[in-house]
Amino acid sequence: MRHLNALIDLTADEVKEIFARSASLKSGLSRGERPALLAGRVMCQVFEKPSLRTRVSFEAAMMQLGGSSLFLSAKDAGLGGREAVEDVARVLGGYSDVIVLRTFSQRLIDEFIRYSGTHVVNGLSDERHPCQALTDLFTMQEVFGDVAGKKFVFVGDGNNVATSLATACSLLKVPFTICAPDEYRLTDEFLADLKGRYPDSRIEQTSNFKTALKDAAIIYTDVWTSMGQEAEDAERRRVFSPYQVNAKLMGMAPKTARFLHCLPAKRGLEVTDDVMDGPQSLAFQQAENRMHLAKGMLCWLLEVPFK
Ligand code: CP
Ligand code: NVA
C-alpha cells in the first residue's frame, strides 16, 4: 500500500515518475484536457491546522481528474477526543481511497497509516511537508532542467519545510545549504539519519550569508513562526530579522538565482515585496504547481498506469 508520509519512503525513480506524470498532466490541462483518471475515487481531507494551497490544490486535482473530495476539520472528525484515533482512521479508511492529513503531531499520521487500511498523504505535520518539497523541486526542474548539482539555499528556520527540502534535495543529488541562526538549524539526529540513507548528500549549515549564497541556483524562505509556534513569535522575529530575504541578500547571489517561498508569506518579515513580486520570484508558479504535483502524486499513489 503506497503512502506519502516522508520523502525517505520514495526512491529517486519514483520521484521522477511523479514529476513526469505531473508535467504531462500540467501540459495537458493547458490544452483543456482533464482526463478522468480518478473517476469514482474518493479523497477525504482532515486538517488540524488552516490551509489554502494544500487543501484546495488536492481538491482541485481530484475533481479535475474525475474523482470526489470531502473535507473535515479535525474537530468535526472527532479527533479531539470523541473517539480513539485508530477508530476514526478505520472508519474513514472504509469510505476513502485516499486520506490527506494536516496535523501537529507526526504520530497522528503514522497511526492513520497503521489503522486506516487506505492510502495516506502527509499534508504537513510539525516535522515534515513532503508534498511542498516535491513541488519545489518540480518547480526547480521546470526552470533549470536537470536539478542535480544545482545549489539550493534555504534561508530561515530549520522547520518542517526545511527538513523535507533537505530530504528531497538529497534524493535528487541537489546540494542543500541552510543559512540559519545556530539554535534554529537542522538537528544532528536528522542530519545523521539523512547521511546514513544518502551517503553522497551534500548538506551545509551556516550563518555566513556570503558562503551560503555563493553559486546559489535557488534561494528559498518560509515563515519564521510556523503554525503552532505563535507563543514564540516575538523572540523569533528578533532572532531572524537579519535573515530577511531582501534585495541586498538577493544581490549576494548570482543574478540567475531564482526565489521560492512555500507561502503563506509574511511580507515585510522573512521576505520583502520587491523580492516576492520581483523578476527572480517563482512563488506563484510554485503555488500553482501544488495542484499539478498533487495530480501526479495521486496517480502514483493509486497506481494509475502511466504510458
Ligand atoms: N504551502 C502550503 O502548504 O500552504 P497552505 O498552508 O495554505 O496549505
Ligand atoms: N512552516 C510553515 C509552513 C506552512 C505551509 C508552517 O508549518 O506553518
All three cell numbers of 16, joined, read 521522477
In 58-96, which positions are buried (b, 16+ CB within 10 angstroms) versus exposed (e)? bbebbebbebbbebeebeebbbeeeeebeebbeebbeeb
Assigned domain for 307 exists: no
What is residue 81's predicted lDDT score, i.e. its pLDDT? 87
Q: Do residues 167 and 265 share a domain? A: yes
**d(C-alpha 60, C-alpha 268), whole Å:** 30
pLDDT at 163: 98
Q: Is the CB of 159 under 6 A from ligand 2?
A: yes
Could you tell me if 300 and 17 are in contact, meaning their C-beta atoms sit under 8 angstroms apart?
Answer: yes
| Residue 296 and residue 260 in one domain | no
Query: How many domains does the chain contain in total?
Result: 2
In terms of C-beta density within 10 A (0-12 exposed, 13-18 middle, 19 or more buried), how is residue 306 classed?
middle
The percentage of the chain sitting over the pLDDT mark of 90, rounded to a whole number, equals: 98
Same domain, 23 and 91: yes
Task: Return the pLDDT at 168.
Answer: 98
User: Is 112 within the bounds of a domain?
Assistant: yes
Please indicate, yes or no, if residue 306 is contained in any of the structural domains: no
265 and 295 in a single domain? The answer is no
Quick check: 255 pLDDT over 90? yes
Mean per-residue pLDDT, 261-277: 98
Which pLDDT score is estimated for 307? Answer: 76
Residue 80, pLDDT score: 77
> Based on the domain organization, do 229 and 261 belong to the same domain?
yes
- Are 145 and 278 members of one domain? yes
Same domain, yes or no: 17 and 74? yes
Is a pLDDT exceeding 90 seen at residue 234? yes
Tell me if 279 sits within 8 A of 304, measured CB to CB: no
What does the pLDDT look like over 160-201, one tens digit per residue?
999 999 999 999 999 999 999 999 999 999 999 999 999 999
51 C-alpha to ligand 1 centroid (Å): 5
Cα–Cα distances in angstroms (integers) from residue 210 to residues 61, 126, 206, in the given order: 40, 30, 10
For residues 174 and 39, membership in a common domain is answered with: no
**Residue 210, pLDDT above cutoff 90:** yes
Q: Which of 100, 101, 262, 271 to mutate to test the pocket of ligand 1 (most atoms within 8 A of CB)?
A: 262
Average pLDDT of 257-280?
A: 98
> How high does pLDDT run on average in the chain?
97
Domain enclosing residue 30, as ranges: 7-129+290-301
Pick from 48, 51, 59, 223 the residue to mutate for probing ligand 1's pocket: most ligand atoms within 8 Å of its CB: 51
Burial label, 294 (beta-carbon count in 10 A; 0-12, 13-18, 19+) = buried
Bridge partner residues of 176 (DSSP): 152, 203
* Residue 72's CATH number: 3.40.50.1370
Give me the mean pLDDT over the 223-233 stretch.
98
- The C-alpha angle 62, 67, 73, rounded to 5 degrees, equals 60
Give the pLDDT score at 58: 98
Q: In terms of domains, do 165 and 272 share one?
A: yes
Under the banding of pLDDT at 50, 70 and 90, the label for residue 123 is very high
Q: Are residues 124 and 43 in the same domain?
A: yes
For the cut 80, the answer to whether the pLDDT of residue 291 exceeds it is yes
Place of cell 515534515: 128
Closest CA to ligand 2's atom 2: 226
User: Which atom, in ligand 2's list, is nearest to the CA of 225?
Assistant: 8
Q: Which of 45, 47, 54 to mutate to test the pocket of ligand 1 (most atoms within 8 A of CB)?
A: 54
pTM, two decimals, is 0.98
302: confidence class by pLDDT, cuts 50, 70, 90 = very high
